[in-house]
Amino acid sequence: MSFSAQLRKEVDPIWKASFHHPFVKELGEGTLDLRCFRYYVLQDSYYLTHFAKVQALGAAMANDLKMTARMAHHAQSTYEAELSLHENFMKQLGITDEEKASFVPAPTAYAYVSHMYRAAFAGHFGDILAAILPCYWLYYEIGEKLKECRPKEPIYQKWIAAYGSDWFRELVEEQIARLDEIAETVTEVERERMKQHFWISSQYEYLFWDMAYRLETWPIQRKETECDANERIKTS
Ligand SMILES: Cc1ncc(CO)c(N)n1
């Protein structure tokens, strides 16, 4: 069995929990509360900004020029997806500049991003790939599962179409093949560490849906006067 197939098998219960999470189910059925989706879009925009940076770190830490170029291309693709998907969603959902300026990452989004940076800075190229692969691969599988759904909400249809596309599938397949290539060249200890990154990212993917469904906040809110908020919006 390939390394990627082994990893996929090990995380199967976690991924199944994502497939059955009410956020994902209700998105497919079109019944998801738009407040949850709106919250998700803001948090995911933060997530993708850092995801692109981790991909760019992958480009910097790659073992040869071709891989550097491909990882840089992947960072560019994240930017393009972010631009077309989230910017349109933000407009359609009426997310204001003030909201964007006062955005605070939720605990789960912050922790997930931190996990990816930790894998990147404490490890090597294989660690980065293992930490970022569930992001691609799980969304691709969700896109495939929801492909036949026709939610009434057009935004949900667009979201499903993006992750069920051939464009996205090719990116996912490329990274799976790359992970298997790298796994051949590293030690057993390193492969175990890569497995753990993949497993933790899979858990965070589940937690990300849950965070949005529950509209997660920090336990103690930051007090901010209106004056401070206005100052920050003006200078941002
Ligand atoms: C949290 C998360 N994981 C994966 C993807 C897919 O790129 C995304 N947009 N957001």
Domains of the chain: 3-218 (1.20.910.10)
71-85 exposure pattern, b = at least 16 Cβ within 10 A, e = fewer: bbebbebbeebbeeb
- pTM of the entire predicted model: 0.92
Ligand 1 centroid to Cα of residue 78, in Å, is 10
What is the reported pLDDT for 202?
98
Q: Whose CA is nearest to atom 10 of ligand 1?
A: 44
Measured from the Cα of 135, ligand 1's closest atom is 4
For residues 168 and 7, give the distance between their C-alpha atoms in angstroms, rounded to a whole number.
20
Under DSSP, the state recorded for 3 is H
Ligand 1 centroid to Cα of residue 184, in Å, is 27
Q: What is the dihedral of CA 45, 141, 74, 165, to 10 degrees?
A: -90
Query: What single letter denotes the amino acid at residue 152?
Result: K
Q: Whose CA is nearest to atom 4 of ligand 1?
A: 135
What is the reported pLDDT for 58?
97
What is the reported pLDDT for 222?
77
Q: Which of 141, 111, 97 minimizes the C-alpha distance to 50? A: 111
Query: What single letter denotes the amino acid at residue 16?
Result: K
Residues with CB under 6 A from ligand 1: 44, 47-48, 135, 139, 205, 208
Which helix (H) or strand (E) covers residue 85, if one does?
A: none
What is the reported pLDDT for 168?
86
Q: Whose CA is nearest to atom 5 of ligand 1?
A: 135
Ligand 1 centroid to Cα of residue 76, in Å, is 15
What is the reported pLDDT for 127?
98
Under DSSP, the state recorded for 93 is T
For residues 165 and 167, give the distance between their C-alpha atoms in angstroms, rounded to a whole number.
5
For residues 136 and 175, give the distance between their C-alpha atoms in angstroms, rounded to a whole number.
8
In the block, residue with structure tokens 């480009």: 59
Measured from the Cα of 51, ligand 1's closest atom is 7
Rg (CA), the chain: 18
Q: Cα(first)–Cα(last) distance of the chain, in Å?
A: 51
Ligand 1 centroid to Cα of residue 64, in Å, is 26
Ligand 1 test: best mutation among 79, 82, 86, 135, most atoms within 8 Å of CB? Answer: 135
Low-confidence ranges of the chain (pLDDT < 50): 236
User: What positions carry a catalytic annotation?
Assistant: 135, 205
